[in-house]
Amino acid sequence: MEWFCRYLDAGEGWLIGLVEWFCRCLDAAFTGNALEGAGFIGAWVLLVVCRQWVSLGSGSLGFGFPKVAGLAGGYLPPGTTGWPIIGETLEFSSTGKMGTPEKFVNERMKKYSSEIFKTSLIGERMAVLCGAAGNKFLFSNENKHVVSWWPQTHEKIMLFKQASTIGESKKVRGYLPEFLRPENLRKYVEIMDCLARQQIVTEWTPGREVKALPLARKHTFALACQLFMSIDDPEQIARLANSFARVSAGLLAVPIDFPGTIFNRAIKAANMIRYELLPIIKKRRDLMAENKEMETRDLLRHLILSTDQDGRFMTEMEIADKILHLLVASHDTTSTVITFVVFYLADYPHVYKEVLKGHSFEFRSFRSSSYIGFPWTTEQMEILKSKGPEKVLSFEDIQKMRYSRNVVNEVLRLSPPAPGAFKHVIRDFTYEGFTIPTGWKAHWSVFSTHQNPKYFPNPKKFDPARFEGSGPMPFSFVPFGGGPRMCPGAEFARLVILSFIHNLVTRFKWEKLIPDEKVKFDPSPIPVNGLPIRLVPHKC
Ligand code: HEM
């Protein structure tokens, strides 16, 4: 609410009330509830009146974004900041809800500039830098002109001081490398494989309707509980997962902290998770202090042992916060990719076949470009045969999954779980002849490159072969971001996804029960019915 109140005089209580009411309707509208009621229509009328009022010249409340003049002689980028207060947030969100999030960026790139345009989203004036060059500029200017920035909802629910300062980012990156070290990643493959197998055997029942999205979420959450905190009690995992679903829903809700709003429920759920984790952290710390703890290689151990520059250990509450951050960063993202691998493999049987049996690819002579051979990659069935069904998957097995890895990349290109990230401008900068003032936000979006024919010919086509050879142009394929803030969990996520896919394709083929199921982006892509499929076991 603060970002609305910034625009309001303290004495305008009635107006604050109206805006609060408007926001509640909007909040519900974003989740689909209020579209059924009159609230949203009322909110819309209020908005139109507001816009009319502002355009008639009532500037006393400072609704309109001021023209930024005199910026070292610079011009602001082309584009529009849209409606008062909400800017272009509704257009941004509605293209996502309609399953075409790329439209927002692509239409503006066509209309204004393929390099940069201005807009206003979630109450912030924003420059969107486009294309591989825009990505490169933002990734390489972290801490010089921009710092990482997250919407206020994240800050309030996860109680983080914006992890935008160099210090905060270093903290995140301080305890993670230990947990994500290649030697440790190797060991997690066994646990990833066992949990995937366990879930598939018990819950992916052949012949009946099975919903891929909730099951993928259940798997990645159970895995995170196991690898982050060694929690394996199904009841406790279910309780945490329940609260976590409310946290996820609140991260992009309108930030109004009223009883009953999605945002308010998310704050409460985040607190419930923290209080559930505190005794676990305390118990582990005590065991470690008494040297009674078995050598567990989970994240919690690394968090308890890590210190800041002054040698200070984290408090139990700080540790609970860090775990919550990592659950948010890792859970929905990874389960989305698993879901969409299932989605695309059902749509493209020839890709499914190559994942299962191996992939042929052309070798061309470097000099003459002439075709010289047809070697086959060893994929899932071969890997299963070579290790035997009872033996667990190893890190080396995952290294052999070359074609499946390309399939995962193609899923990350077309259905990216993280559509981009926001930055806060800490020092004016000029890009493509336009000046972006200090205090603005900057945004990079996967959609300015992932679906752009300049970087990916025939961009709508699902074609894992694009990732063979030297692969895409630098800074054009950015599902994990880039530069100093690039996702540190990328390799971990790939291991989770590939170990799960191995267990699924070596047991089943499948078909979609709703062939044209709609996909909305919120902001991760979600098949609206949860991707119901029917599994068909392989004949022995
Ligand atoms: C397919 C799965 C995933 C995708 C697509 C993804 C994507 C991203 C993206 C786009 C960013 C922001 C980069 C930026 O600000 O420029 C990010 C940050 C981050 N991710 Fe991931 N991520 C995934 C999985 C994971 C996993 C499994 C973990 C942890 C084990 C993780 C931990 C983090 C952390 C801690 C950050 C913040 C880094 C910082 O602020 O310095 N992510 N991720």
Average pLDDT over the chain, rounded to whole?
A: 84
Q: Cis before residue 523, ω within 30 degrees of 0?
A: yes
- Which pLDDT value is given to residue 426? 96
- Which pLDDT value is given to residue 8? 35
- DSSP-derived secondary structure letter, 91: H
**Residue ranges in the chain modelled with pLDDT below 50:** 1-21, 23-24, 27, 29-32, 34-41, 45, 48-67, 69-70, 163-164, 364-369, 371-375
335 CB within 6 A, ligand 1: no
Residue 151 and residue 422 in contact, taking contact as beta carbons nearer than 8 Å: yes
495 CB within 6 A, ligand 1: no
| 487 has binding-site annotation | yes
- Which pLDDT value is given to residue 296? 75
Cα of 341 vs centre of ligand 1, distance in Å, is 19
What is 166-537's CATH topology? Cytochrome p450 (1.10.630)
Residue 423 CA to residue 108 CA, distance in Å, equals 20
- Which pLDDT value is given to residue 362? 52
- Which pLDDT value is given to residue 407? 98
Q: Whose CA is nearest to atom 29 of ligand 1?
A: 489
337 CB within 6 A, ligand 1: yes
Cα of 86 vs centre of ligand 1, distance in Å, is 27
- Which pLDDT value is given to residue 390? 81
326 CB within 6 A, ligand 1: yes
What's CA 448's distance to the chain center, in Å? Answer: 16
333 CB within 6 A, ligand 1: yes
Which atom number of ligand 1 is nearest to the Cα of residue 485?
41
Least Cα distance to 451 among 130, 185, 201 occurs for 130
- Which pLDDT value is given to residue 156? 75
Structure tokens that stand for 428 in this block: 């004016």
Q: Whose CA is nearest to atom 31 of ligand 1?
A: 489
Cα of 35 vs centre of ligand 1, distance in Å, is 33
163 CB within 6 A, ligand 1: yes
Look at the block and give the residue holding tokens 């209580």. 13
What's the pTM value of the predicted model, to 2 decimals? 0.85
Which atom number of ligand 1 is nearest to the Cα of residue 478?
10
302 CB within 6 A, ligand 1: no
Residue 413 and residue 419 in contact, taking contact as beta carbons nearer than 8 Å: no
Residue 381 and residue 506 in contact, taking contact as beta carbons nearer than 8 Å: yes
78 CB within 6 A, ligand 1: no
Cα of 249 vs centre of ligand 1, distance in Å, is 18
Cα of 423 vs centre of ligand 1, distance in Å, is 15
Element (H, E) at 373: strand 371-373
